[in-house]
Structure 1
Amino acid sequence: MDVGLHALGVGSGAERTVIDAVAAAAERAGFSTLWSGERVVMVDEFASRYPYSDDGVGPVPVDTDWLDPFITLSFAAAATTRIGLATGVLVLPEHNPVAIAKRAASLDKLCAGRLALGVGFGWVREEFDAIGVPFARRAARTAEYVAAMRELWRSDVASFDGEFVQFHDVRVNPKPRNRTLPIVLGGNSESALEQAAQWADGWYGFALADVEEAAAAASALRARLRAAGREPGDLRLCASLRAPMPGDARRLADAGFDEMVLVASPPFDPIAAEAWVGELAGQWIGPRH
């Protein structure tokens, strides 16, 4: 079971010295992936309900610093050489897919092929309104954007004619190291599970209540994969739990998960942050040999 760390880009994890310290320490300690999520704007009053808690209230105060994940991961890449990097997640329908294809491929080139592009549909109507993108049909928009980006990555001269995006005979360089990027779809809804089974390379179940909820989602994904003519091994399964307990990593592995992601905030002091990573590694990874 791989163990990832979702700690960069927000609050204390938005400080340059902390990013450097956490990234380097996580690589030394044996973490598999550094995750960084996205919120473009925050508003003081939400009509939208936060989907990852029982009370519908998000955990991050609205005045908290929240960095762009590509910039965050660029700094993390510069501080490391081996550890995986993942957006967790980018709200893809809020962006132009041609521009995102370029940004993601640029980072993948600079980090020598370590990037996974985690994407999601989004849940904050107010954020879509501020950006000027329709909130309706965002799942369909996400699926089409992914198809368009894959075409840009694999073709020297690319064309795409969809409902939401069109381009003809364009070149977008650089290409990702492998002419594609792993696309990890985040989201715990039935729609997200269905879309993940159809076209994603991985699924990130975020802030799941417990291992039982994670196992049920994994079972549902396997059924959907079979219905889509795909194999269970076609989808890398990652999960974070709201309150992980000793033994949960083993139980997630038994349920078919590939990576357990720890979601936590480091201390503001970089020396303390480095020690904090070591403590997490001692609890969840064990000693390095």
Structure 2
Amino acid sequence: MATLHGTFGIAARNFTAFPIIPKAEELIEYGVRMEELGFDSLWVWDHILLGVDPHFPIVDSLTLLTAIAARTKKIKLSTGILVLPLRNPVTLAKQLSSMDQISNGRLLLAMAAGWYKREFDAVGVPFEQRGRIMDDNLEIMRRFFNEDLVSGEWPNHSIPAGVMFPKPVQQPFPILIGGYADRVLKRAATNGDGWLTYFYKPDAFVESWQKVCNYAEEAGRDPATLLNGNQLPIMVGDSR
């Protein structure tokens, strides 16, 4: 499995505040340049709709990472985070498997349940059920990643028999869980391959990571096998 320990990633500005519009070609060249500079991973944000007044133009995360994958060789390609309940898990499993093939095993995706209700309403996904939907989606995707034949019944999906090849290059395919709340930390420990968070100070990070480790042990998992990462804003200068 991929590791985050001792690595350094950098974000791509694939969403902006209007009237600035992100430019896809510039973002692809940015990804190429970040690999040349030696960064270990490149992270993009994920939304379908965000904001009204102001609104935030955004280049689709997975489309952008696919384009960057075709132009690079080494850098890990990551979402921080992908709003999983907004995506159909069967089509997403196919897309991610194909992306991992294109990148030769360089995907390292973080996913979360989301927070922007208007986005859920527009896509037609029940916002109040997003936690349950996320858990179902994780299960469905992992089964397609790992099993030759998938069958099962879920509240939103009926799969009498499903075969999906090719599989991702990475086995197992790593999925980090993003968020702060205790229920999210438990999901990271039990259903994910690790935890990604945002803007945590060291003491708060240690406290939450210990919760993740405790949840993992309670579920019979070895905490040492889990990944963790912290996304931080960095200002290079005398002050903000």
Give TM-score scaled by structure 2 length.
Answer: 0.87
Contact 1:7/1:34 (8 A) holds in 2: yes
d(CA) in 2 for partners of 1:43, 1:23: 26
User: Cα distance, 1:190 vs. partner?
Assistant: 1.4
Matched, 1:36 2:44: yes
Query: Could you report, residue by residue, the CA deviation over 1:84-133 in whole angstroms, capped at 9, with x for unpaired residues?
Result: 11122111111110010011111111010111232110011111111111
Query: Could you report, residue by residue, the CA deviation over 1:35-83 in whole angstroms, capped at 9, with x for unpaired residues?
Result: 11211112326xxxxxxxxxxxxxxx51x32111111101211221011
Matched, 1:211 2:202: yes
Letter in 2 for 1:234: T
Letter in 1 for 2:118: E
**1:256 corresponds to:** none
Q: Which of 10, 17, 23 matches 2:25?
A: 17
From the superposition, tell whether residues 14 and 109 of structure 1 become closer, same or farther in structure 2 (CA, over 3 Å): farther
Q: Which of 169, 178, 189 matches 2:181?
A: 189
Q: Which aligned segments of 4 or more residues in structure 1 are displaced greater than 4 angstroms? A: 242-246
With a CA cutoff of 8 Å and minimum separation of 6, indicate the structure with the bigger relative contact order: 1
SS at match of 2:216: helix
d(CA) in 2 for partners of 1:154, 1:97: 14
Structure 1 residues 97-106 or 232-241, which shifts more? 232-241
Matched, 1:6 2:5: no
User: Cα distance, 1:149 vs. partner?
Assistant: 0.7
**1:171 corresponds to:** 163
**2:3 corresponds to:** none
SS at match of 2:160: strand
Contact 1:7/1:13 (8 A) holds in 2: no
User: Cα distance, 1:244 vs. partner?
Assistant: 7.1
SS at match of 1:137: helix
Matched, 1:68 2:60: yes
d(CA) in 2 for partners of 1:94, 1:223: 30
Q: Which of 214, 225, 231 matches 1:223?
A: 214
Report matched runs for 1:74-85 at 5 Å. Answer: 74-85=66-77
Contact 2:194/2:227 (8 A) holds in 1: yes
Query: Could you report, residue by residue, the CA deviation over 1:205-225 in whole angstroms, capped at 9, with x for unpaired residues?
Result: 0233x2222122112212222
**1:254 corresponds to:** none
d(CA) in 2 for partners of 1:88, 1:184: 9
Q: What count of residue pairs does the alignment treat as equivalent?
A: 229
d(CA) in 1 for partners of 2:119, 2:57: 16
Q: What's the Cα RMSD here? A: 2.1
Flag structure 1 segments of 5+ consecutive residues without an equivalent.
46-60, 247-289
**1:263 corresponds to:** none
d(CA) in 2 for partners of 1:237, 1:13: 32
Query: Could you report, residue by residue, the CA deviation over 1:184-238 in whole angstroms, capped at 9, with x for unpaired residues?
Result: 1111111110111111012110233x22221221122122222121122221001
Contact 1:10/1:67 (8 A) holds in 2: yes
d(CA) in 2 for partners of 1:75, 1:172: 23
**1:130 corresponds to:** 122
User: Cα distance, 1:28 vs. partner?
Assistant: 2.2
Give TM-score scaled by structure 1 length.
Answer: 0.73
Q: Which of 144, 153, 160 matches 2:136?
A: 144
d(CA) in 1 for partners of 2:93, 2:153: 16
d(CA) in 1 for partners of 2:41, 2:234: 19
Contact 2:100/2:170 (8 A) holds in 1: no
**1:232 corresponds to:** 223
From the superposition, tell whether residues 218 and 137 of structure 1 become closer, same or farther in structure 2 (CA, over 3 Å): same
